[in-house]
A and B are shown apart, each in its own frame.
Chain A
Amino acid sequence: MHEMSWTPIGPPQPPPRPVPPPMPVAFTGGRREFFDLVKRGAGLEFITLGFYRFWLATDMRRHLWSNTEIDGDAAEYTGRGKELLIGFLVALAILVPIYLAYFLVGLEAERAQAFASLPLVAFFYLFGQFAIFRARRYRLTRTVWRGVRFWMSGSGWAYAGMAALWGLLVVVTLGPALPWRAAALERYKMRHSYYGDLQGKFEGRGWEFFKRGWWLWLLTPVAFYLLPLAPFIYGAYKAVEWRWWLSGIRFGEVRLESTLKRSALIGLYWKVTGWIVVLGLVFAAWLALSAGLAASMSATSFKEFFATQEFARSIPFLVFLGLGYLLFALAINVVIRVYLMRDLWVRVLGSTIVHGIEATANVSARGELANALGEGFADGLDVGGF
């Protein structure tokens, strides 16, 4: 016979000392408001052929930051579009001669030996990692909470070197080293992050990340054959990554914790996939329509028009193609920003709990602003990251 219940022996335990309750993080922004913001932004990007992107990125961050409330006080993003533009221009001034040199050296190297241009690819990889670090520093120094800013020290090149060596290990091991790479890089970034005089720290271990996500790594080759699996796998992977990342963050005595479920983000990735398919069909219909229109404007017969590839040189068709493609790309950007930026942000925040918030009651302001060069490089090299 088994006892189904038991009573503790001895005198009743004294009630535990009152510990301040863990603090959930709240998001107060309206979805409609954000949608209007990105819709208007996409329109302005269209008119300015993309130059508005610096101001749009700033507006989106301002919305997300200022609606994120921790312990009753909302954060604030103090970066401005003009800073991003200047960062982009400076990055351009540095990247253009490098690209030119890259072209010349690459031509020379590739002629001598087929794999000789590999070190050059590695060089650009380093540059991209440098950009990721410096872009994070920029964003962090523009993040203000309770009148005190976050800031960052450390060296972008040291970070890039670390990222490259770890990246090499990931390639050599075909993937499994990825969690340890993430942990090591995050440790470096967080060790050099501060909120006022509170130093950051990262306590996530590569092993924990691996334990949660190894089966996704095994499933990845399957997803290449069974494409509908991809949003499931990627969504689950991102959820695991977010949870592990947030749960490892410390600032002094402040501890973050995330309870994000593995399935929490899969719906978002499915919605994005669905929208891209729908938009792709609309784009295809648009192409067919404009090709037909261009063919009927030309004197050649329909069959000949397509058989001779004359359509690839027809002005009206190219104009329609360019216009349609631009609108298609902008619409996809709107979808991605609403689902994968705003909605994802809200879901991740909703799962986040802050412990030991009282350590932030009286933090002294420290730290200097960093420039937006990293953001400029990230824009020029097309890399992203946290």
Chain B
Amino acid sequence: MSGVMDSGPGNAFYFDGRSSKRRTVTLRLGEALEIEEHGDRLAVWPYADIRRADSPSGKLRLACTSAPALARLEIRDVVLAAELVARCKKLEEHVLGGRGVATIVGWSLAATVSIILVVLFGVPLAADRLAPLVPASFERRLGEVADSQVKVVFDGKLCENAAGRRAFEKLVNTLRESAGMDTSVQSGVLSTAIPNAFALPGGKVYVLDGLLAKAENVDEVAGILAHELGHLQHRDSLRAVIHNSGTSFLIGLLFGDITGSGAVIFASRTLVNASHSREAEHDADSFAIETMHRLGRPTKPMGELMFRITGKEGDKGLSLIASHPMTEDRLARMAREDRPASGPPLLTAEEWRALKSICSTSAKL
């Protein structure tokens, strides 16, 4: 394709980018593209500077990098358009092509990987480092919020039988003093059949009545209580709060607006948090074992109580996801660490009976 070619009239329109005036122009395809109106030359566009602009199909719209940014040339003649396109070697250079998309995909994957790495390694580290820096007063406030939620979930019935209460306090104080913790620790028994116990941020431990009902001796309950005191000592709830919110935020960032916040975030967070809390449980077990050793009481009963509650877990699905270590592994550990009783019993037989019925008599009052 060589030589000069002129367009016929009425096939090309030019907007100079300074005004909205539509000019009917004649094009000369010479060394460069010459744009003329009634014989006056309006602009000369070098072919190498010409880029395609968005247009409806059937109309070719061009821009030029060396002309005003919004100057546009529109060509509605197919033959002329083809001639011109053949001369403009860099027509599509600015278009986001396959390579551009590949770049976006590549960097997105890199961002995803780095977010996942931060979630797996950075957030737990940050939670561990930040937790000691959080003032105790702030932690207590978190605890108060959690406490009111707990009371709603478990119907808010605190067991208040006087004799049972005395026995419970004696047990908690013995464990607390042995572990060297101060008197800020609060504790209580909630009336519900669910066999469980948990620690809240800011120093509160709850034992659920269902756990007492399943316990056969005081050492079993003492072990569980010591385990929860371990969580308090390590400020695990606070770390879990930091950990959870950090993880939710980062995963939310990752998925952005395609899902809002929802099932994907929940699913991924469950996976991540489980591995973190397994570690915390292991440490709380160590704390419980040490405390029981110091009191000269056996550790195996605690494992037996847990085993009685959960049953054998080993052949249920994948252990990677469980938030606690598997009960049989914990029982084995408690049994390994078990020493014959060398200290006095933690409660008398009468106190133990009172503790067992801490909730039943309160109902009568």
Does B bind A?
Answer: yes
- Which A residues are closer than 8 A to B by beta carbons? 28-30, 44-45, 47-53, 55, 62, 65-67, 69, 73-74, 76-78, 81, 92, 99, 103, 107-108, 110-111, 144-149, 195-196, 297-300, 310, 312-315, 318-319, 321-322, 325-326, 329-330, 333, 360-365, 379, 382
Q: What is the CA–CA distance of A333 and B259 in the complex, to the nearest angstrom?
A: 10
**Chain B, range 262-318, C-beta contacts under 8 Å to A:** 262-264, 267-268, 270-271, 274, 315-318
In order of increasing CB-CB distance, the 4 nearest A-B pairs are: A147-B15, A48-B108, A66-B54, A51-B108
As a 0/1 sequence over residues 134 to 171 of chain B, the CB contacts with chain A under 8 angstroms (1 = contact) are 00000001101100000000000000000000000000
Could you tell me the distance in whole angstroms from the C-beta of A292 to the nearest C-beta in chain B?
14
Interface stretch of the complex, out of B2-10, B56-64, B176-184, B211-219: B56-64
**Chain B, range 316-354, C-beta contacts under 8 Å to A:** 316-318, 320-323
Could you tell me the distance in whole angstroms from the C-beta of A218 to the nearest C-beta in chain B?
31
Q: Which residues of A sit under 8 angstroms from B316, Cβ to Cβ? A: 298-300, 310
Is B260 in contact with chain A by the CB < 8 A criterion? Answer: yes
Is B255 in contact with chain A by the CB < 8 A criterion? Answer: yes
Q: Which residues of A sit under 8 angstroms from B18, Cβ to Cβ? A: 147, 364-365
Is B128 in contact with chain A by the CB < 8 A criterion? Answer: no
Question: A145 contacts B20, CB within 8 Å?
Answer: yes
Q: Which residues of B sit under 8 angstroms from A29, Cβ to Cβ? A: 56
Q: What is the CA–CA distance of A5 and B257 in the complex, to the nearest angstrom?
A: 64
Question: A62 contacts B256, CB within 8 Å?
Answer: no
Q: Which residues of A sit under 8 angstroms from B315, Cβ to Cβ? A: 299
Task: Assess A363 versus B264: contact at CB under 8 Å? Given A51-B256, A81-B96, A313-B322.
Answer: no
**Chain B, range 68-116, C-beta contacts under 8 Å to A:** 68, 70-72, 74, 96, 101, 104-105, 107-109, 111-112
Task: Assess A314 versus B54: contact at CB under 8 Å? Given A50-B254, A81-B96.
Answer: no
Question: B70 contacts A326, CB within 8 Å?
Answer: no
Could you tell me the distance in whole angstroms from the C-beta of B228 to the nearest C-beta in chain A?
22
Question: A144 contacts B70, CB within 8 Å?
Answer: yes
Q: Which residues of A sit under 8 angstroms from B145, Cβ to Cβ? A: 107, 110-111
Q: Which residues of A sit under 8 angstroms from B255, Cβ to Cβ? A: 49-50, 326
Is B53 in contact with chain A by the CB < 8 A criterion? Answer: yes
25 CB < 8 A contacts A-B: A44-B105, A47-B108, A49-B108, A49-B255, A49-B258, A50-B254, A50-B255, A50-B259, A51-B256, A66-B54, A81-B104, A107-B142, A111-B144, A144-B70, A146-B15, A147-B15, A147-B68, A300-B316, A315-B318, A321-B263, A322-B264, A325-B262, A325-B263, A329-B258, A362-B19
Q: Which residues of B sit under 8 angstroms from A315, Cβ to Cβ? A: 271, 317-318, 320-321
Q: What is the CA–CA distance of A314 and B59 in the complex, to the nearest angstrom?
A: 56
Question: A67 contacts B56, CB within 8 Å?
Answer: yes
Q: Which residues of B sit under 8 angstroms from A69, Cβ to Cβ? A: 56
Known: A48-B108, A325-B267, A365-B18. 4 other contacts (CB 8 A): A50-B259, A74-B56, A298-B317, A379-B257
Question: B262 contacts A47, CB within 8 Å?
Answer: no
Considering residues A50, A69, A108, A326, which has the most beta carbons from chain B within 10 angstroms of its beta carbon? A50
Q: Which residues of A sit under 8 angstroms from B19, Cβ to Cβ? A: 147-148, 196, 362-365
Question: B264 contacts A382, CB within 8 Å?
Answer: no
Task: Assess A149 versus B56: contact at CB under 8 Å? Given A107-B141, A365-B19.
Answer: no
Q: Which residues of A sit under 8 angstroms from B30, Cβ to Cβ? A: none
In the complex, which residue of chain B has the Cβ closest to the Cβ of A330?
B258
Q: What is the CA–CA distance of A314 and B319 in the complex, to the nearest angstrom?
A: 9
Considering residues A69, A298, A313, which has the most beta carbons from chain B within 10 angstroms of its beta carbon? A313
Could you tell me the distance in whole angstroms from the C-beta of A45 to the nearest C-beta in chain B?
6
In the complex, which residue of chain B has the Cβ closest to the Cβ of A67?
B56
Could you tell me the distance in whole angstroms from the C-beta of A75 to the nearest C-beta in chain B?
9
In the complex, which residue of chain B has the Cβ closest to the Cβ of A318?
B267
Question: B264 contacts A326, CB within 8 Å?
Answer: yes
**Chain B, range 234-272, C-beta contacts under 8 Å to A:** 245, 249, 253-260, 262-264, 267-268, 270-271
Question: B259 contacts A329, CB within 8 Å?
Answer: yes
Task: Assess A147 versus B270: contact at CB under 8 Å? Given A49-B108, A50-B256.
Answer: no
Considering residues A30, A62, A329, which has the most beta carbons from chain B within 10 angstroms of its beta carbon? A329
Residue of A53, A67, A111, A314 near B256 (CB, 8 A) is A53
Question: B258 contacts A325, CB within 8 Å?
Answer: no
Question: A322 contacts B54, CB within 8 Å?
Answer: no
Q: Which residues of B sit under 8 angstroms from A365, Cβ to Cβ? A: 17-20, 70
Residue of A74, A196, A322, A363 near B263 (CB, 8 A) is A322
Task: Assess A326 versus B259: contact at CB under 8 Å? Given A73-B22, A362-B21.
Answer: yes
Considering residues B15, B107, B257, B268, which has the most beta carbons from chain A within 10 angstroms of its beta carbon? B257
Could you tell me the distance in whole angstroms from the C-beta of A268 to the nearest C-beta in chain B?
22
Q: What is the CA–CA distance of A363 and B317 in the complex, to the nearest angstrom?
A: 71
Question: B71 contacts A147, CB within 8 Å?
Answer: yes
Residue of A50, A65, A74, A196 near B258 (CB, 8 A) is A50
Q: What is the CA–CA distance of A318 and B101 in the complex, to the nearest angstrom?
A: 30
In the complex, which residue of chain B has the Cβ closest to the Cβ of A45?
B258
Is B49 in contact with chain A by the CB < 8 A criterion? Answer: no
Question: A300 contacts B268, CB within 8 Å?
Answer: no
Q: Which residues of A sit under 8 angstroms from B54, Cβ to Cβ? A: 62, 65-66, 76-77
In the complex, which residue of chain B has the Cβ closest to the Cβ of A379?
B257
Q: Which residues of A sit under 8 angstroms from B245, Cβ to Cβ? A: 103
Q: What is the CA–CA distance of A144 and B63 in the complex, to the nearest angstrom?
A: 13
Question: B321 contacts A314, CB within 8 Å?
Answer: yes
Q: Which residues of A sit under 8 angstroms from B142, Cβ to Cβ? A: 107
Q: What is the CA–CA distance of A14 and B22 in the complex, to the nearest angstrom?
A: 34
Could you tell me the distance in whole angstroms from the C-beta of A38 to the nearest C-beta in chain B?
13
Considering residues A74, A147, A195, which has the most beta carbons from chain B within 10 angstroms of its beta carbon? A147
As a 0/1 sequence over residues 1 to 45 of chain B, the CB contacts with chain A under 8 angstroms (1 = contact) are 000000000000101111111100000000000000000000000
Could you tell me the distance in whole angstroms from the C-beta of B72 to the nearest C-beta in chain A?
5
Q: What is the CA–CA distance of A108 and B70 in the complex, to the nearest angstrom?
A: 53
Question: A147 contacts B258, CB within 8 Å?
Answer: no
Could you tell me the distance in whole angstroms from the C-beta of B141 to the nearest C-beta in chain A?
6
Q: Which residues of B sit under 8 angstroms from A107, Cβ to Cβ? A: 141-142, 145
